Amino acid sequence: MTTFSELNLNPKVLKAVEEAGYETPTPIQADAIPSALEGRDVLGIAQTGTGKTAGFTLPMLSLLARGRARARMPRSLVLCPTRELAAQVAENFDTYSKYLKLTKALLIGGVSFKEQDKLIDKGVDVLIATPGRLLDHFERGKLLLTGVQIMVVDEADRMLDMGFIPDIERIFSLTPFTRQTLFFSATMAPEIERITNTFLQSPVRVEVARQATASETIDQYAVMIKPSRRDRADGEKRATLRALIDGEGDACTNAIVFCNRKIDVDVVAKSLKKHGYDAAPIHGDLEQSQRTRTLDAFRAGELKLLVASDVAARGLDVPAVSHVFNFDVPGHAEDYVHRIGRTGRAGRSGKALTICNPRDEKALAAVEALLQKDIPRLDDPSGSRPAAEETAAAQGGGDDEAQKPERTSRSGRSRGGRSRSVSRKKADTPDTPADTPTAPAGEAADAPGTEPAEPREETRGKARSSEPRERGRRGGDTGGKVVGMGDHLPGFIALSFDERRTG
């Protein structure tokens, strides 16, 4: 079995690794570190949670141990897709470089340009950045990339999903051709392969697991639900989530709940807090300070449920996550692998539960095709309705529908788009002239077996043609026949065009 002491790392780096409690490298580390120390380009492909970050951090520090950085010219560059991942890589550098006199700078959004400019002006050995903020500094003339000796692209497939590939290509063109490139990704999409063929020179390909596979230590399940009604689907889905969390009991020490949309992240987090759960949201629209506080609280065990968008799906290392709940089936099958990879890390066991409604079955099938295995199905723990009742609800004949009064809009039409029926009695009555006095509304209301008539404003300029139309919309029971669709001819059809305009 290989140990870190056999990988020819710098002694000071090796000392920091041993103090961190690591003795045996993971497969991706054991294969990538020797090639990187030789100065070769490396293409690393491994499932999430296998230690890719240390796979490029340790050889970089060993290679940069000698030398000195110049102002505005970093010696190495690490590109990350999200702020959280960039901050995590910076923490890894702090851990492993504690005995080296190396400087670093973290360039991410949500932080003052002024503070970042000060660090760049002093000169940094390691520059960790997101693509957008890096180009912002470059275009302001505060940064030169001509001194980059080692360039790392982390989570390249996530870069592709977020639309960063044009920025990555531009950054590659700004760095020296003689640089060493370490390229890491969990999956290899055709676009990613094109970039590696263009910018990497005879790379050593390190692939320690089949692409887009989940860890074998994660138990995966899909919970199939059928909403009773479309307008109740979201609420019933949240009830299912709460039932799943309760059903895990003490086994669920902490968990990440993933949603596809940022707005759903906020709604689910508020719903959980309303029902007494310890939950907080994290997504790209929140202030960076709030995102950092929430993530730190979750890592420290002060927060039990982290409700997140896919900003937390890639690369974030919280070793003790016991469960992952997919509130939505991800639209891209690869994202499923990264989401559930937040649990079952470093050989630990984990559990992933995905809520799937009928609309998501196609996306779930795509996930199973990618994993090349079926995900076991579970019944809805919140209590699904009997099949006969579900069928009745789908046809609009459920008990809830029958008991609920029909709502009508101002125009008199119901939400289903059907006109309310008109009474046969009124249909048989000839049109009343516009100047004929109308009986008080109270008399009509007192008459047995009739509906109260809505009061009408008497306006002499009102068109006669509108009266049959109003009676057709506001009338009572017609016995199944609607005026204009049966034997009776509506009065306005018999009027000439001039009479309609001047009536």
What tens digit of pLDDT does each residue of 346-395 get? 667 899 999 999 999 999 999 999 888 899 999 888 875 433 333 343 34
**pLDDT tens-place string over residues 304-317:** 999 998 876 665 66
Per-residue pLDDT at 430: 44
The pLDDT value recorded for residue 14 is 94
Strand, coil or helix: 272: helix
CATH class of 4-207: alpha beta
Laid out side by side, the sheet with 323-326 consists of: 279-282, 305-308, 255-258, 323-326, 350-356, 218-224, 377-378
How many other CB atoms are found less than 10 A from the CB of residue 261? 12
**Block residue for tokens 């100047």:** 435
Hey, what CATH class is 218-394 in? Answer: alpha beta
Among 83, 57, 346, 50, smallest CA distance to 186 is for 50
End-to-end CA gap in the chain:
98
pLDDT beneath 50: ranges in the chain: 385-476, 478
For the whole model, what pTM was predicted? 0.63
- In degrees and rounded to multiples of 5, residue 384 shows phi and psi of -85, 155
**CB of 259 closer than 8 Å to CB of 339:** no
In whole angstroms, give the CA distance from residue 331 to residue 363: 6
State the helix-helix crossing angle for 83-96 and 288-299, rounded to 10 degrees: 60
Q: Give tens-digit pLDDT for 117-159.
A: 999 999 999 999 999 999 999 999 999 999 999 999 998 888 8
Question: What pLDDT score does 497 carry?
Answer: 63
Residue 174's H or E segment, with its range, is helix 165-174
User: What are the start and end residues of each CATH 3.40.50.300 domain in the chain?
Assistant: 4-207, 218-394
Exposed (0-12), middle (13-18) or buried (19+): which is 157, by Cβ within 10 Å?
buried
Cβ atoms 244, 353 nearer than 8 A: yes
Question: How many other C-beta atoms can be found within 10 angstroms of the C-beta atom of residue 197?
Answer: 10
Can you name the residues that pair with 326 across neighbouring β-strands?
Answer: 258, 354
Q: How far apart are CA 250 and CA 254, in angstroms?
A: 10
Give the pLDDT confidence score for residue 278 in this predicted structure.
95
The answer for residues whose C-beta is within 8 angstroms of residue 169's C-beta and 6 or more apart is 195, 198, 199
Task: Give the pLDDT score at 330.
Answer: 92
* Concatenated DSSP letters of 49-80: TS-HHHHHHHHHHHHHSS---BTTB-SEEEE-
Cα–Cα dist 400/80, whole Å = 51
Phi first, then psi: give them for residue 179, nearest 5 degrees. -65, 160
Q: What is the pLDDT of residue 415?
A: 44
Closest CA to 168 of 129, 120, 210: 129
Give CA–CA dist 462/448, Å, rounded: 30
Question: Which residues fall within 8 angstroms of residue 421, CB to CB, at 6 or more apart?
Answer: 475, 476, 477, 478, 480, 481, 482
Give CA–CA dist 97/78, Å, rounded: 15
Q: Per-residue pLDDT tens for 329-347?
A: 998 887 888 888 888 876 6
